[in-house]
Amino acid sequence: MKAASFDYIRAKSIDEVCSALNQGDGEAQIIAGGQTLIPLMAMRMSRPQTLVDINDIEELRGIEVAEKVAMIKAGTRQADVLSSIEIRNNLPILSEALGHVGHTQTRNRGTIGGSLVAADPSSEICLIAQLLDATMIAKSTAGTRSIPANQFFDSAMVTSLKDGECLMEIDFPIWNQKRTGFGFHETSIRDSDYALAAASAQIAIGGNNKCERVHLAVGGATPSPLRLNEVETALIGSVLDDSVIDDAVSLIPNLLEPQSDVHASAEYRRRVTCVLAARAIRDARDRAQGKFS
Amino acid sequence: MSAPQQFKYITKKRRVREDRRFVTGKGRFAADFKFPGMLHIAMVASPFACAKINSIDSSPALELPGVHYVLTGVELAANINPLLSGLDLPDVKRLPLANGRARYAGEWVAAVVADTRHIAEDAAELVAIDYEMLDFVIDPEEALQDTAPVVHPENGSNIFFDKTWTWGDVEGDFAKAEHTLALQAKWSRSSTVPIETFAVTASWDEGREMLDIWASIQMPKYPEQIARALQIPVTSVNVHFDVDVGGSYGLKRGIRQTVIVAYLTKKLQRPVRFIEDRLENMAGGEMHGPDRVFDMEVAYDEQGIMESLKITATDDCGCYPGRAPLQLGKPVSAIVGPYRIKSARYHARSVSTNKTSQEAVRGFGQAPTNFAIETVVDRIASTLNISREEVRRRNLIRSEEFPWRIPSGSEYDSGDYHAVLDKLMRAADWDKLIEKRNSFRNDGKLAGLGLSTCLEPSGGNSSFEPLFNPKNDTTTWMESCLIKVDMLGGICAMMGTSSSGQGHETLLAVSIAEVLERDPDSIRAIHSESVGALPSNSPVGSRMAIMLGGAAAGAAKKIKNQVIAIAAHNFQLPEDRLVYEGGDVYVKGDTERCLRWEQLVDIAHRQYHNMPIGSEPGLQAQHTWEVPTGGAMPKEDGTVQMYPCYAFEAHIPLITIDPGTGQVQIHDYYIGHDCGTVINPDIVRGMTFGGIAHGIGAALYEKFQYDESGQLQAGTFMDYLLPSAHEIPAVEMIKHHTPSPLTEFGQKGSGESGYLGAPAAIASAVNDALAPLGKSIATLPMRVRDLEELLNS
Amino acid sequence: MSKNSVHITVNGTAYKREIEPRLTLVDFLRDELDLTGTHVGCEHGVCGACSVIMDGRPVRSCLIYAVMADGHDFVTVEGLGSKDGSLSPIQDAFWENHAMQCGYCTPGMLIACHHLLEENPDPTEEEIREAIGGNLCRCTGYQQIVEAVKIAAQKIHGVNL
């Protein structure tokens, strides 16, 4: 299980990355943490001619939290985001989800941007990006552009990043409503396995106890994480008692086209996604109402 | 039964001496050996479940710089003998590389030899093979049909083995019975999957005419099998048994891999190494385990007393027979479990399919059989509405009944099953566990409490070999130890096998120390090279505590006798006037008249004038012994004594199932365990906990799943799921010690413990959780998808 | 393909080698530096047998190319004990409690546990299991490993258990 040969460039700047990608003619690839890419290369399912290592680039690392947005540089290690108090305080759902990503040892190398670019269907980070409408900022020799999450994930392992583009930063919106809560549930076979199905919700409750704002997204079950606007619409403006939630999630089966694999059937994923979505919504509601134990 | 022995070292906590090198990173595993000029192998594997190999063009691979050779199955087949089969199947040729026809996806077709493993993998992609796809069969039931494609056309059918034994009046007992029930239980293809893959380096020394081998090996008669395949004398094969083996649990047999490497080192006159990568290991390493369907029928009375048992076991052996079909044989040694069942019928079928082959897996077929029997016992309990523990109590053999002969001919040596079960239920506080289960249920969860009571036949009297193959008249299952006392009084003990974590060095040192009353830390234990080794049957069948411990004690007694004889000669007194203590010998009643160990050893080595007339110079002794109860061929009625010692274990897990997702969580786990005298408590604990973890894996997570096109879908650690520290609970072990009357210190085997009862116990717990819904499951593994689908059906 | 130069420090010793970029760190440690204590289990980042400490954090050495390790500092199992050969508390606890059988996953386990105790002097059972959750062991069922970490914690910090 040895990778095919490749050339290696350790880039010192973003410009160097962009020019190396440009010269690579589509055969050059960025490596950051390598926690997804290196196994694929070991099995020769991926064989880039050139690897451009971005680990030395300081400007690709760091977390900055402003009032309405948390800006995380793409090369920030998952472990550093997980241990960030600012993230835990302002984007608790991201902290929660990161606890489910791999193991300590892979989180110490794996980066936030790396997971997004890999776009694994079961990726928790992709799910949260989709849930919160994160914005990906990418740079190439042609310039910089922003890509909203709902235009970022094309299909399993495929994003809308173009050849030559380097993901620079991910901006996660922060909700400022006072009574905001989140819920995150996933089912995996072993504790740290890829999610067979996952669901996340973030809810803001108004003064009348009605749902003022809600985002719901599911992952693992479909090729890319999916926002479920129809379900959100069914929740918004209501007091979220269990029957309202159950009615809303009953819409989910028709919204999903899950995949089957060795670990779970499409039917399993469809059913379990509903279960997890209901749990995530309930947790989000309870947290928003300060009732979460 | 004799009174319990008092021990000085045995049974006491003692650090395991092997561990020191492991914690410092100084273990020496097969992949750690490097030699100048060493070449590396990567395998070319068939992508098809069955295909004719029309041609192999190696030239593009050979053009790559650093590539030395491409070995094909055709060349290898022309130059070696086929590998041994456990069954009498002369037309089924097992070869290390596919010859003309590849019979499963992942089967090795060619071996590429290069300067580095990287280059070998580059070149393996360039070997051009013209395949012609053929029909294949994946499902064993389908393989039994007349219309099915035949895996080995030369064999005429897909049946490797099909035989029925009837022991006792089965039909009569069924006819008389108040009740009968039938069920099917399935055990899917899983394995022990060690973290170290198989690795071997071989180096042919033309000057010495010697093939040196460093391998991660656990295989009886390994040097002999290599020599036979390569058509060279066994005296030209030197296996370095001091290689540390990174886990095996029965599995690391490696004959195919070794023959390839050995052939190539002779051919190329360079050391050659093959380390399976995980893909080669999982798909082509032929290391899968039993894959079995049990059709069970039981006759029992109103009280739940079992009278008779009928078992049909259909085992999907995969492609080649090897020793794997014999895994249907070991269960004959405990075919009725720990129960007083009077008669039994056993129909054992081994079927070939286009899958990778099975190899020996921890318990050698006993764990699946135990699971099937326990499923029957639980079903009787639920049918009669008697508690599961009560049904067991009524059926378990009673302590005063030992030795107990079961219908298939084996005599169980000793046990106190009721005492173990009682102790366990008390320690686990069964009633409290029921309360806890019920409170989970009240919270809306599915919760279940499991119970299993199972046997571990140990000692490796492997007389299933002649039972399953009349042409095989092996009845010798020996083990040896050679002890040398050096001129300065140091003791060195030698074994003729490698170890894969069993702590054999510690076992030897402690066993010898116990007899010679010397400090175990002063006794060195080593693994001989095979050319200098005494006969060994390697660590299989939970046998080494019994057999190697017994061999060591036997050799130590001979040393002790020699020392006493030397002292008697020098004191000019009869031996019965002398006392041996801690290596010194003094005159009874006069401790001043004493010859110390160092003096006695010095006499043996240097002072022939003080030695008894005609004695051998020096101080050394060997002991090779046959397994207790061994040495007999099966009788005509198919009865035979197998395994001498029977360890007993009872398990209680408490689990919950998430009704929404099918996820199982194990909350509590208790095991009651009796393997007789425990030589090293930490080793026995560890083996038992490890066996339970492996059993939890087999029950809930692990499966070598194939798809309809015959492709292995679980060929990596992302798809074949070994349980982690999150899935395995803390286990409380409740110990009981019923010594075996057959062994030196009363010990029984424990190398397979935990695994033999855990899958059955987990299944029992899951079914207890499902019972309120009127549902049940008898197929392992019970994966999340299986349970969720069952709950939603 | 080209060769690249790598300067790294392992267990306090500086090394320099010219290597192919495709060499993983674990292969580099074993084959170029003869530090065979770090083991290869799966080569795709699941089993944890190849765990080493990189700049103070445990990582999988099969998921780093050695060229990427240029300029970094590593500790392997060979570097856990003292130079005089005495064992570190976690090594000694593993030995004392027989927290292994075959010894193959042991180096990776030790790395994970060593780091845990540096970060968390008195870990709970759950925290220990979390720390070793990415290290597979097929022999022990993890129990004696978990116990050994508790023993080591007690030894290091004098915690009364």
- How close C39 comes to chain B (CA, Å)? 8
Domains, chain B, in order of start with CATH, read 38-134+198-275 (3.90.1170.50), 292-463+633-791 (3.30.365.10), 478-626 (3.30.365.10)
What is d(CA B656, CA B662) in angstroms, rounded to the nearest whole number?
10
Instruction: Mark residue B249 as left, alpha or beta (left: phi above 0; alpha: psi -120 to 50; beta: remaining).
Output: left
Which of B690, B692, B721 lies closest to B704 in space, CA to CA? B721
Residue A121 lies in a domain: yes
CATH number where C104 lies: 1.10.150.120
Please report, in tens digits, the pLDDT of each residue of chain A (293 residues total): 999 999 999 999 999 999 999 987 789 999 999 999 999 999 999 999 999 999 999 999 999 999 999 999 999 999 999 999 999 999 999 999 999 999 999 999 999 999 999 999 999 999 999 999 999 999 999 999 999 999 999 999 999 999 999 999 999 999 999 999 999 999 999 987 889 999 999 999 998 999 999 999 999 999 999 999 999 999 999 999 999 999 999 999 999 999 999 899 999 999 999 999 999 999 999 999 998 65
- Would you give the distance in Å from CA B273 to the centre of its chain? 26
Q: Please tell me whether residues A129 and A156 are part of one structural domain.
A: yes
Residue the block writes with tokens 């095996």: B248
Q: List the chains bordering chain B where 3 or more Cβ pairs fall under 8 Å.
A: A, C
* B244, B248, B251, B254 alpha-carbon torsion, rounded to 10°: -20
pLDDT of residue A194: 86
Residue the block writes with tokens 């065979």: C36
CB B251 within 8 A of CB B191: yes
User: What single letter denotes the amino acid at residue A203?
Assistant: I
User: What single letter denotes the amino acid at residue B472?
Assistant: N
Question: Counting beta carbons within 10 angstroms of the beta carbon of residue B592, is it exposed (0 to 12), middle (13 to 18) or buried (19 or more)?
Answer: exposed
SS3 B33: coil
Judged by a CB distance cut-off of 8 A, whether residue B785 touches chain A is yes
Which of B544, B562, B551 lies closest to B622 in space, CA to CA? B551
CB C44 within 8 A of CB A43: yes
Helix (H) or strand (E) holding B71, with range, is strand B67-72
Q: Please tell me whether residues A107 and A169 are part of one structural domain.
A: yes
| Bond preceding residue B781 cis, omega within 30 of 0 | yes
Which of B682, B691, B718 faces C46 most closely, judged by CB atoms?
B718
At B425-436, the pLDDT tens digits run 999 999 999 999
Give percent of chain B above pLDDT 70. Answer: 99
Q: Which residues of A touch C63 (CB under 8 A)?
A: 33-35, 38-39, 106, 109
Q: Please tell me whether residues C58 and C116 are part of one structural domain.
A: no
Q: Do C140 and B689 touch (CB under 8 A)?
A: yes
**Residues within 8 A of A (CB atoms), C 70-89 only:** 70
Segment B123-127 mean pLDDT: 98
Residue C111 lies in a domain: yes
- How close A6 comes to chain B (CA, Å)? 12
Where a domain ends, among C60, C79, C98? C79
What is d(CA B450, CA B732) in angstroms, rounded to the nearest whole number?
15
User: How many beta carbons lie within 10 A of that of residue B723, not counting itself?
Assistant: 26
Q: Please tell me whether residues C14 and C57 are part of one structural domain.
A: yes
Interface test with B, best of A188, A218, A262, A269 (most B CBs within 10 A): A262
Judged by a CB distance cut-off of 8 A, whether residue A293 touches chain B is no
User: What single letter denotes the amino acid at residue A14?
Assistant: I
- Range list of H helices, A175-253: 229-235, 242-249
The H helix count followed by the E strand count for chain A is 11, 14
Residue A36 lies in a domain: yes
What is d(CA B372, CA B349) in angstroms, rounded to the nearest whole number?
16
pLDDT of residue B1: 43
Tokens of A250: 């009953």
Q: Which residues of A touch B718 (CB under 8 A)?
A: 194
CATH number where A26 lies: 3.30.43.10
Residue A44 lies in a domain: yes
Residue A1 lies in a domain: no
Q: Do A276 and B785 touch (CB under 8 A)?
A: no
Residue A2 lies in a domain: no
Tokens of B636: 């005509």
What is d(CA C23, CA C35) in angstroms, rounded to the nearest whole number?
15
- Would you give the distance in Å from CA B290 to the centre of its chain? 12
Residue-range definition of the domain harbouring residue C10 = 4-79
Residue-range definition of the domain harbouring residue A20 = 7-53
Which of A151, A155, A201, A150 lies closest to A180 in space, CA to CA? A201
ipTM score for this prediction: 0.98
Render the burial of A154-169: b for 16+ CB within 10 Å, e for the rest.
eeebebebeebbbbbb
At B305-358, the pLDDT tens digits run 999 999 999 999 999 998 889 999 999 999 999 999 999 999 999 999 999 999
Q: Do B716 and A43 touch (CB under 8 A)?
A: yes
pLDDT of residue B3: 55
pLDDT of residue B434: 98
Q: Please tell me whether residues A68 and A150 are part of one structural domain.
A: yes
What is d(CA A64, CA A137) in angstroms, rounded to the nearest whole number?
15
Q: Which residue stretches of chain C have pLDDT < 50? A: 160-161
Phi, psi of B529 (to 5 degrees): -75, 150
Which of B248, B285, B220, B243 lies closest to B694 in space, CA to CA? B248
Which of B400, B414, B370 lies closest to B628 in space, CA to CA? B414
| Nearest chain A residue (CA) to C111 | A105
Q: Please tell me whether residues C24 and C53 are part of one structural domain.
A: yes
| Nearest chain B residue (CA) to C40 | B196
Q: Please tell me whether residues A122 and A207 are part of one structural domain.
A: no
Residue C84 lies in a domain: no
In three-state form (DSSP H/G/I as H, E/B as E, the rest C), the secondary structure along B154-165 is: HHCCCEEEEEEE
pLDDT of residue B768: 98
Residue the block writes with tokens 């009725």: B336
B325 Cβ neighbours under 8 A, 6+ residues apart: B86, B87, B160, B161, B315, B317, B350, B468
User: How many beta carbons lie within 10 A of that of residue B166, not counting itself?
Assistant: 16
CB B203 within 8 A of CB B230: no
- How close C82 comes to chain B (CA, Å)? 10
CB B104 within 8 A of CB B354: yes
Q: Please tell me whether residues C95 and C75 are part of one structural domain.
A: no
Render the burial of B6-42: b for 16+ CB within 10 Å, e for the rest.
eeebbbeebbbbbbbbbbbbebebbbbbeeeebbbbb
Where a domain ends, among C44, C60, C79? C79
Query: For chains A and B, what is the number of CB pairs under 8 angstroms?
Result: 68
Strands B51-57 and B128-133: antiparallel
Residue the block writes with tokens 């492609």: B319
CATH number where C63 lies: 3.10.20.30
Which of C2, C60, C68 faces A53 most closely, judged by CB atoms?
C68
- How close C7 comes to chain B (CA, Å)? 22
Question: Counting beta carbons within 10 angstroms of the beta carbon of residue A33, is it exposed (0 to 12), middle (13 to 18) or buried (19 or more)?
Answer: buried
CATH number where A284 lies: 3.30.390.50
pLDDT of residue C1: 59
Which of B743, B755, B236, B205 lies closest to B461 in space, CA to CA? B743
CATH number where A164 lies: 3.30.465.10
What is d(CA B446, CA B766) in angstroms, rounded to the nearest whole number?
9
Judged by a CB distance cut-off of 8 A, whether residue A276 touches chain B is yes
Judged by a CB distance cut-off of 8 A, whether residue B724 touches chain A is yes
Q: Please tell me whether residues C69 and C13 are part of one structural domain.
A: yes
Q: Which residues of A touch B788 (CB under 8 A)?
A: 268, 271-272
Residues paired with residue B185 on neighbouring β-strands, in sequence order:
B294
Q: Please tell me whether residues A112 and A216 are part of one structural domain.
A: no
Q: Please tell me whether residues C94 and C115 are part of one structural domain.
A: yes
CB B342 within 8 A of CB B407: yes
Where do the DSSP E strands lie in B658-787?
Answer: 664-674, 732-735, 779-780
**Residues within 8 A of A (CB atoms), C 41-60 only:** 43-45, 48, 51, 54, 57-60
Q: Please tell me whether residues A134 and A225 are part of one structural domain.
A: no
Which of C144, C129, B712 lies closest to A192 in space, CA to CA? C129
B677 Cβ neighbours under 8 A, 6+ residues apart: B5, B7, B10, B11, B737, B739, B740, B743, B745, B746, B747
Where do the DSSP E strands lie in B216-342?
Answer: 237-239, 272-275, 292-300, 306-318
Interface test with A, best of C25, C27, C60, C120 (most A CBs within 10 A): C60
What is d(CA B283, CA B318) in angstroms, rounded to the nearest whole number?
12
Segment B577-601 mean pLDDT: 97
Where a domain ends, among A151, A173, A195? A173
- Would you give the distance in Å from CA B429 to the centre of its chain? 33
Q: Please tell me whether residues A188 and A283 are part of one structural domain.
A: yes
Helix (H) or strand (E) holding C133, with range, is none
- How close C87 comes to chain A (CA, Å)? 24
Number of domains in chain C: 2
Number of domains in chain A: 3
Question: Counting beta carbons within 10 angstroms of the beta carbon of residue B132, is it exposed (0 to 12), middle (13 to 18) or buried (19 or more)?
Answer: exposed
Q: Please tell me whether residues A118 and A47 are part of one structural domain.
A: no
Residue B677 to residues B1, B714, B752, C93, Cα–Cα distance (Å): 13, 40, 16, 26
Where a domain ends, among C46, C79, C112? C79
Long-range residue pairs from B559-564, CB within 8 A, at least 24 positions apart, any chain: B559/B483, B559/B485, B559/B516, B559/B619, B559/B620, B559/B621, B560/B515, B560/B516, B562/B604, B562/B615, B562/B619, B562/B621, B563/B597, B563/B600, B563/B601, B563/B604, B563/B619
Q: Please tell me whether residues C115 and C138 are part of one structural domain.
A: yes
Say yes or no to pLDDT of B736 above 80.
yes
- How close B366 comes to chain C (CA, Å)? 19
At B464-478, the pLDDT tens digits run 999 999 999 999 999
CB B310 within 8 A of CB B170: yes
The DSSP code for A139 is E
Q: List the chains bordering chain C where 3 or more Cβ pairs fall under 8 Å.
A: A, B
At B171-185, the pLDDT tens digits run 999 999 999 999 999
Q: Which residues of C touch A31 (CB under 8 A)?
A: 65, 68
User: How many beta carbons lie within 10 A of that of residue A86, not counting itself?
Assistant: 12
- How close C38 comes to chain B (CA, Å)? 7
CB B209 within 8 A of CB B318: no
What is d(CA B560, CA B583) in angstroms, rounded to the nearest whole number?
8
